[in-house]
Homo-oligomer: A and B are copies of this chain.
């Protein structure tokens, strides 16, 4: 159930509502509100609200209205919010902000190396992806690696380099955070907090990202074998903790065929547009794991109505410390930027036959 709070509520009425909600939910966790399209809302489990509790809630001065949804996710649901969520990236740092999710937006291209390897590698790549037309710089400072013996990223030093690359290029920066205790540190440097596929159900991390003090947008990758519902519930954790700025990113799901690293589930994009108002992106690099498939699957993703792409680019993919096999060159990126922009215009009816 979603409870919308009156805009002019006084602190006494608000306190009374919070006390009632604590009694209803019996929860240890403090009640948090989220700002959704200029309304302040609270979501709680509908099952806890019996008829009597519902009457009590609706009688509260602080309550404007209540909605009961049948989906387990509430605030993330299209049934609750019919208009698309539009998110601005980069509004708090020295960069050119970018908007994702607005109806008129061009596809947002995030690009850069899998891992920040060195100052030289990062700055070179950042300038190259800027020239190629990317709007956001990606780069891993903390890398979740399957083996403890693989390169784990440069850590804090990597964050410093990302901030430097932002200043140099004006591109906002997205980077991964792996543990709740590091959210505030990463949020000092990043413009978007990325939560990776292995942390798709790391609930303390989702809550911490939801509470990050700058309300930075969170890019939430789909878990390796998450259902659509599990994924939207992960988004719900972030939103219910107070942060409505969640971007979903499909990155392939585990399947049985060793030919590709994962199976890119593009059908989930239009399906998600039905179910949720959140922006949806695709990662064609991790999903396929093969660089020669990246340009074609980038185009197919936009055709499937993805609102952005996150792509691994390396100036010299064969020497990359991480995921070189799936990285493309800046030249290939430029073609993707051009082609997807053209396709997006065609989909809006802005092109005609030569």
Contact surface of A with B, Cβ cutoff 8 Å: 27-29, 43-45, 47-48, 72-74, 144-150, 152, 154-155, 178-181, 198-199, 201-205, 223-225, 227-230, 233, 236-237, 240-241, 253-260, 263-271, 274, 287-288, 290, 292-293, 296-297, 299-305, 342-343, 345-347, 350-354
Residues of B close to A152: CB separation below 8 A: 27-29
Is B199 a contact of A225 with CB atoms below 8 Å?
no
CA distance A303 to B343 in the complex (A): 9
Residues of B close to A288: CB separation below 8 A: 267
Output the nearest chain B residue to A154 by Cβ-Cβ distance.
B28
- CB of A303, distance to nearest CB on chain B (Å): 4
Residues of B close to A72: CB separation below 8 A: 146-147, 149
CA distance A43 to B205 in the complex (A): 29
Is B201 a contact of A201 with CB atoms below 8 Å?
no
Residues of B close to A154: CB separation below 8 A: 28
Is B203 a contact of A178 with CB atoms below 8 Å?
yes
- CB of A298, distance to nearest CB on chain B (Å): 9
Is B296 a contact of A236 with CB atoms below 8 Å?
no
- CB of A286, distance to nearest CB on chain B (Å): 12
Is A287 a contact of B267 with CB atoms below 8 Å?
yes
The 8 closest A-B pairs by CB, nearest first: A45-B149, A303-B303, A198-B201, A300-B304, A179-B204, A225-B225, A300-B303, A270-B296
- CB of A317, distance to nearest CB on chain B (Å): 18
Output the nearest chain B residue to A341 by Cβ-Cβ distance.
B353
Output the nearest chain B residue to A350 by Cβ-Cβ distance.
B354
Output the nearest chain B residue to A297 by Cβ-Cβ distance.
B267
Q: List 19 A-B contacts (CB under 8 A).
A: A45-B150, A47-B149, A72-B149, A74-B149, A147-B233, A179-B180, A181-B181, A198-B202, A223-B224, A224-B225, A228-B259, A259-B268, A267-B297, A270-B292, A300-B300, A300-B303, A302-B303, A303-B303, A346-B346
- CB of A348, distance to nearest CB on chain B (Å): 10
CA distance A223 to B144 in the complex (A): 15
Residues of B close to A236: CB separation below 8 A: 147-148
Is B353 a contact of A350 with CB atoms below 8 Å?
yes
Is B305 a contact of A296 with CB atoms below 8 Å?
yes
Residues of B close to A178: CB separation below 8 A: 202-204
Choose from B44, B180, B228, B257 the contact partner of A257 (Cβ within 8 Å). Answer: B228
CA distance A99 to B37 in the complex (A): 52
Output the nearest chain B residue to A157 by Cβ-Cβ distance.
B28
Output the nearest chain B residue to A155 by Cβ-Cβ distance.
B28
- CB of A80, distance to nearest CB on chain B (Å): 14
Choose from B181, B225, B299, B301 the contact partner of A256 (Cβ within 8 Å). Answer: B225
Output the nearest chain B residue to A349 by Cβ-Cβ distance.
B354
CA distance A257 to B146 in the complex (A): 15
Output the nearest chain B residue to A299 by Cβ-Cβ distance.
B303
Residues of B close to A228: CB separation below 8 A: 257, 259
- CB of A177, distance to nearest CB on chain B (Å): 10
Output the nearest chain B residue to A196 by Cβ-Cβ distance.
B201
Known contacts A43-B149, A145-B203, A227-B259, A353 near B351 by CB under 8 Å: yes
Output the nearest chain B residue to A240 by Cβ-Cβ distance.
B148
CA distance A237 to B148 in the complex (A): 5
CA distance A269 to B265 in the complex (A): 13
Known contacts A204-B178, A305-B296, A255 near B253 by CB under 8 Å: yes
CA distance A342 to B150 in the complex (A): 45
